[in-house]
Structure 1
Amino acid sequence: MEVDFLLIGQGLAGTALSHRILESGQRVMVFDLPEANKSSRVAAGLYNPVTGKKMVRTWLADQLFPEIEPFYSALEQLLDKTFLMKRPIYRPFLTVEEQNEWMGHSGDPFIQPFFEKIYTQPLFEEVQNPFGGILLKNSGYLDINTLLDAYAAYLLEKDCLRQEHLKEDELRFEKEGVFYQDIKAEAIIYCNGLGALESNFFKELPFAPVKGEILDLDQDFHPDAIINRGVFRISLPNGLKRVGSTYSWHDLDTGPTERAKKEILEKLDKLVNVSVPKVIAHKFGIRPATKDRKPFLGKHPAKERVYIFNGFGAKGVSLVPYFSKVMLELLIQGKEPQKEVNIMRCM
């Protein structure tokens, strides 16, 4: 079998890039073990243009956010599934000074595309928002599990997916291409999250794994908007609430922790004043974050035909639609990604 690209990993990054490759008319074969996609499968899938304690525009918002909803909407049409949940995000103000600061921003064209309305009075009686808050737009969340499962079925139908481990020591690099078992490819791309650290090509990369934990809760108050300050609180279609997330660089191998559950519930209690929640599920994943919090894109500096598309961390839903286009331009046109995401900054 001859293909243009061998691609390792069908998490969110591998799904997005393989779709771009196929859409461009190129051929791809994806190798993936579904149980290895834990960081994608337990992620809440939030995309949010204003983030952090200081409520600042997310990095590269002007480039990233015009791509997000069109990209996932097109995948919904292709797969005949619904997984893009467009939702406003309500972020309460913590002080009257913060309220005044945002009122001053209200006419700023740098900010205007990303907010619907600024409230100076409480919007929800169930939320701790005495100073009001800001209602963001161009936001929501992605049902990543539905996307990954539907896209895997699509790839299997096209004979573009093998649900097995690719054994790197069986790869052969020759003048004509990359050979693996019965497949010949022009190049191989590592989209397998922290699995790239097990590769001889990328084991020295400065990944900085981050553990995240989330809870699914049974609790009153089911707003359409996502409530987000300290923790996010998403109303799921099944009536449950998804709340999180924690960030830990330490207990990466200990599974779900009581410490994280307590942290989430305490922050939730400060955010909403409704019934005590019942914990239905407690999940965790290890995010393939990087030390500088920028993804890894590019061609291996010393090994021909070897590429990486990886390191998207907690903001993968926002990042991969745009950067999969950037990566495709490298693969097809040889156009190098910008320096701040280019793998050459690390190797």
Structure 2
Amino acid sequence: MEVDFLLIGQGLAGTVLSYRLLKEGKSVLVIDLPEGNKSSRVAAGLYNPITGRRLVKTWNADLLFPEIEPLYSSLEEELGTVLLHEKPIYIPFLSVEEQNEWMGKSGDVEFEPYLERIQIQGLYSEVNDPYGGILLKMTGYLDINTLLDHYSTYLKNKAALIEGVFEEKQLQLDPEGIRYGNIKAKAIVYCNGLGAMESKFFETLPFVPVKGEILDIQQGFKPQEIINRGVFRVVLPDGSIRLGSTYSWSDTDYGPTEGAKIELFEKSDKLILVEGKRVIHHKTGIRPTTRDRKPILGKHPEYESVYIFNGFGPKGVSLVPYYSKMMVELLIHGNRPEKEVDISRFFNYI
């Protein structure tokens, strides 16, 4: 079997990159172990341009966010299913000073694309927001599980997916590309998250595994908006509520922890003034973040046909659409990625 590109991993990164390559008329083969996609499958899928304790515009937002809706809408049309849930995000203010600061920003062209309005009084009696908050647009969440499931079927129908373990020791490099068993390709792309840490090509890259835990619960109060301050609270289509997310750099065991559940409940109770809740699911995943919190794209410095598209962490839904375009430019036309995300920034580690 001969293809243009062999991709390792069909998480969010491998799904979107392979889709873009197919749309460019290139042939792909994806090798994936479905149960290995834990970081993608437990991710809440939020995309939000204003984040962090200080409510700053997320890195490269003006480049990233215009690509989100067109890419996932195209996938919706191709796969015949709903994937993107466009919902406003409401972030309560913590103080009068914060309210005043955002009143000043309301006329700033830097924030205009993302700011629906400043709420100077509480939006809901069920929310702890005595100082009001900001209502954001160009926000929502992606149903990643539905995307991965439908896209897996899509690839199978094209005979473009092998489900199983990738055995790197079987990989051979030659002047014309790579060989893997009876498969020949011009290049191989590692899109397999933390699995890249086990590769002889990328084991020295500064990946930082971060464990995240989320809860699906039953509870009253089901607004249209995503409420987000310290914890995010999303009403899902079935009426359940998703709470998240924790971040742990020390505990990288895949099992759920009681401490994370307590942490999420405590933050939720400070934000949402509604009694009574019941846990439906408690999910965990290990996210493939990097030391500088930016993704890693590019060609291996020593091996001509070995590439990586990885390290997207908890903001993968907003990062992958834009940077997959950049990766396609590299794979097809040889155009190097921006230095901020190029693997070359880690040459000292290789």
TM-score interval for Structure 1 and Structure 2 normalised by the shorter chain: over 0.9
Partner AA of 1:6 in structure 2:
L
Counterpart residue number, 1:79 = 79
Counterpart residue number, 1:344 = 344
Shift of 1:254: 5.5
How do 1:305-344 and structure 2 match up within 5 A? 305-344=305-344
Counterpart residue number, 2:221 = 221
Q: Distance in 1 between matches of 2:277 and 2:83?
A: 26
Q: Distance in 1 between matches of 2:258 and 2:61?
A: 35
How do 1:144-163 and structure 2 match up within 5 A? 144-163=144-163
Counterpart residue number, 1:266 = 266
Q: Distance in 2 between matches of 1:34 and 1:78?
A: 21
Q: Distance in 2 between matches of 1:341 and 1:24?
A: 23
Counterpart residue number, 2:138 = 138
Counterpart residue number, 1:57 = 57
Partner AA of 1:182 in structure 2:
N
Indicate the SS of the match to 2:208.
coil
Unpaired runs of 5+ residues, structure 2, are none
Give RMSD over aligned pairs: 0.7
Shift of 1:182: 1.4
Indicate the SS of the match to 1:273.
coil
Tell me if structure 1 keeps the 8 A contact 2:254–2:286. no
Q: Residue by residue, what CA displacement relative to the aligned partner does 1:36-77 show, whole Å, maximum 9, x if unpaired?
A: 000000000000010001001110011000000110000000
Question: Identity across aligned pairs (percent)?
Answer: 64
Indicate the SS of the match to 2:216.
strand
CA shift in 2, pair 1:254/1:143, >3 Å: closer
Partner AA of 1:301 in structure 2:
P
Shift of 1:176: 2.3
- TM-score, scaled relative to structure 2: 0.98
Shift of 1:276: 2.1
Q: Residue by residue, what CA displacement relative to the aligned partner does 1:272-304 show, whole Å, maximum 9, x if unpaired?
A: 101221111111000000010000000000112
Q: Residue by residue, what CA displacement relative to the aligned partner does 1:303-336 show, whole Å, maximum 9, x if unpaired?
A: 1200000000000000000000000000111111
Q: Residue by residue, what CA displacement relative to the aligned partner does 1:220-251 show, whole Å, maximum 9, x if unpaired?
A: 00001000000000001111100010000011
Indicate the SS of the match to 2:185.
strand
Shift of 1:115: 1.0
Counterpart residue number, 1:198 = 198
Indicate the SS of the match to 1:288.
strand
Q: Residue by residue, what CA displacement relative to the aligned partner does 1:156-189 show, whole Å, maximum 9, x if unpaired?
A: 0001100111211111111222111111100000
Q: Distance in 1 between matches of 2:254 and 2:287?
A: 15
Tell me if structure 1 keeps the 8 A contact 2:254–2:285. no
Shift of 1:126: 0.6
**Counterpart check, 1:3 vs 2:19:** no
Indicate the SS of the match to 1:210.
strand
**Counterpart check, 1:38 vs 2:38:** yes
Partner AA of 1:17 in structure 2:
L
Indicate the SS of the match to 1:112.
coil
Q: Distance in 1 between matches of 2:89 and 2:174?
A: 51
Q: Distance in 1 between matches of 2:313 and 2:87?
A: 22
Q: Residue by residue, what CA displacement relative to the aligned partner does 1:5-33 show, whole Å, maximum 9, x if unpaired?
A: 00000000000100010000011000001
Comparing 250-259 with 277-286, which one deviates more in the overlay? Answer: 250-259
Q: Distance in 2 between matches of 1:16 and 1:284?
A: 23
Q: Which runs of 4+ in 1 moved over 4 A?
A: none
Q: Distance in 1 between matches of 2:194 and 2:255?
A: 17
Counterpart residue number, 2:18 = 18
Partner AA of 2:265 in structure 1:
L
Shift of 1:83: 1.3
Tell me if structure 1 keeps the 8 A contact 2:254–2:284. no
CA shift in 2, pair 1:254/1:309, >3 Å: closer
Counterpart residue number, 2:291 = 291
Q: Distance in 2 between matches of 1:20 and 1:254?
A: 31
Comparing 239-248 with 254-263, which one deviates more in the overlay? Answer: 254-263
Q: Residue by residue, what CA displacement relative to the aligned partner does 1:106-133 show, whole Å, maximum 9, x if unpaired?
A: 1000001101010101111110000011
**Counterpart check, 1:100 vs 2:90:** no
